[in-house]
Amino acid sequence: MSPAARFRALPLRSRLALLVAVAVAVAVAAVAAVSWVMVRTQLRDQLDQSLRATNPNVQVLRTLRDGCVAPPAQAQPDIAGDLNATVQIVFADGTHCRVSGRTDLPVTPTAEETAAGQRSKALYDATTADGTDMRVYTFAARTQPGAPVFAISVAKPLADIEKPLSTLAWVLLLVSGIGVVGAGAAGLWVARTGLRPVDELTGAVEHIARTEDLTVRIPDDGDDEIARLSRSFNSMTAALASSQERQAQLIADAGHELRTPLTSLRTNIELLARSEETGRAIPPQDRRELLASVKAQMTELAALIGDLQELSRPDAVPHGPLGVVALHEIAASALSRARLRGPELVFTSALEPWYVRGEAAALERAVVNVLDNAVKFSPPGAAVEVSLRAGELTVRDHGPGIPADDLPYVFERFWRSPSARALPGSGLGLSIVARTVHRAGGTAALRAAADGGPGTEAVLRFPGAPTPPPAVGAPASVVPDQ
């Protein structure tokens, strides 16, 4: 398994703690390295400045020159005065003598060039015969004007700065190690504390998956991302619980509505079957009524099943082509069907052109459902007024009307007013109307007649335009999407 795969296999809190520790380790290492380099540079600069500060006067130069002896002999220990360094004189011919110090300095080409007068001073590193690293400052000098030039090399061991640097390196390493360990512990604590709401969320999800209990809620105090996630999860479970409740209610209501026609259908069929089994013929008139009742109940059952299928279909799944629909033509077609169902009624219409975007079949069914309600509740000879103006389709009947207390419930599934329960129907028609109109971007409402008379007005409002878009031909009522 690759390191990346092993890292991804770790728990989230372990990954967070490891990432925090690594980030702190990198930061501490960078700070320690920069600090060590800066201190080293500063110490070397101070050493170089102390070497450059060596500027003996003429008397000291004569003393140094006169006290110079050839190796392996050594001058008097105090002949170099307060220089407190290894001092060596180099002559133009490459010979040298040590003035002070425990060991000779190597005569480098730089020192020879300085002794020959080719350069005035130089600063460089050198290693003595006994392996001591030295910082050497060589400068040209003469005992008096016009005298021969010779070079004086003043050197101090680099150990003077390397020992403090070594100590500093160990201190930084120790502090860095403590910092990394502390950062790892702090990262683990932060990960555990910060991920506690995630653990609660995980536990809630596992509990819901195990028990299907959607009443579980997670504390969502605060305004951080975890609190927002908790609120979103609570909203989701509440929506799922509500959906589950509506589904159960739909199944219960559907079962109740299906039971009535099925019971009546079963009773009528049993009567017909018993007549055949016993040989006792049913009077022709009664038989015709039974068959008519069976046919009506089968029709009602088929309509109820169709309505249930329509309501169970997701809003995002259209069952017909989406396009620009001539709403006035759909209303006229639905009005023609309503006239056949209520020949004893008087229909008046005023339909102005209006084009909307939607499903032609679904919109026609919605308009038919509204007109069917008007036909169902209108007394014989009454008028049904239909108008379409500026996208507002109004159907006005002159029936008994709907009590004001019942108006908020008319678009609920299976809801039927007490006065309509004896009439045929499933109580799903207006639910389908509201669903279809909302899908087209409009609104649906039922209200008492605006003129104060008897009856009810159904008002459907659709967004659209009085003229079709340029891509839509005038004779066509529906133009599918390109």
Residue 477 has what pLDDT?
43
Q: Which residues contact 14 (CB under 8 A, 6 or more apart)?
A: 188, 191
User: Omega into 314 within 30° of 0, i.e. cis?
Assistant: no
Query: What does the block give as tokens for 252?
Result: 């219960």
Q: What are the two backbone dihedrals, phi and then psi, of residue 141, each rounded to the nearest 5 degrees? A: -150, 160
Residue 78 has what pLDDT?
44
Query: What does the block give as tokens for 66?
Result: 């006169």
Contact 377, 403 (CB under 8 A): no
The CA R_g of the chain, rounded to the nearest whole Å, is 52
Q: Which of 288, 250, 249, 246 is nearest to 268 (CA)?
A: 288
Residue 310 has what pLDDT?
65
Residue 330 has what pLDDT?
92
Residue 68 has what pLDDT?
61
Residue 254 has what pLDDT?
67
Contact 135, 116 (CB under 8 A): no
In the chain, what are the domain boundaries?
54-159, 225-312, 322-480
At which residue do the structure tokens 């799944």 appear? 317
Amino acid at 342: G
DSSP 276-338: HHH--PPPHHHHHHHHHHHHHHHHHHHHHHHHHHHHHS-TT--SS-EEEEEHHHHHHHHHHHH
Side-chain half-sphere of 233: how many Cα atoms within 13 Å?
23
DSSP 95-140: -EEEEESSSPPP--HHHHHHHTTS-SEEEEEEE-TTS-EEEEEEEE
Q: Kind of pairing, strands 133-141 and 121-127?
A: antiparallel
Q: How many CB atoms lie within 10 A of CB 398?
A: 21
In whole angstroms, give the CA distance from residue 154 to residue 141: 12
Best CATH choice for the domain 225-312 from the list 1.10.3720.10, 1.10.287.130, 3.40.50.460, 1.10.357.10: 1.10.287.130
Helix 360-377 vs helix 327-341: crossing angle, to nearest 10: 40
Residue 388 has what pLDDT?
93
Please, is 452 exposed, middle or buried when counting C-beta atoms within 10 Å of its C-beta (0-12, 13-18, 19+)?
exposed
Q: What are the two backbone dihedrals, phi and then psi, of residue 214, each rounded to the nearest 5 degrees? A: -90, 10
Q: Which residues contact 95 (CB under 8 A, 6 or more apart)?
A: 70
In whole angstroms, give the CA distance from residue 204 to residue 196: 12
Q: Spell out the CATH class of 54-159.
A: alpha beta
Side-chain half-sphere of 287: how many Cα atoms within 13 Å?
10
CATH topology for 322-480 is Heat Shock Protein 90 (3.30.565)
In whole angstroms, give the CA distance from residue 470 to residue 415: 43
In whole angstroms, give the CA distance from residue 361 to residue 371: 15
Q: How many CB atoms lie within 10 A of CB 156?
A: 20
Query: What does the block give as tokens for 191?
Result: 């990960």
Residues of the chain short of pLDDT 50, as ranges, are 69-82, 316-318, 421-422, 424-425, 472-482
Contact 227, 221 (CB under 8 A): yes
In whole angstroms, give the CA distance from residue 122 to residue 124: 7
At which residue do the structure tokens 């060991």 appear? 103
DSSP 153-192: EEEEETHHHHHHHHHHHHHHHHHHHHHHHHHHHHHHHHHH
In whole angstroms, give the CA distance from residue 97 to residue 116: 16
Beta-bridged to residue 134, according to DSSP, are 126, 157
At which residue do the structure tokens 């403590």 appear? 178
Contact 411, 432 (CB under 8 A): no
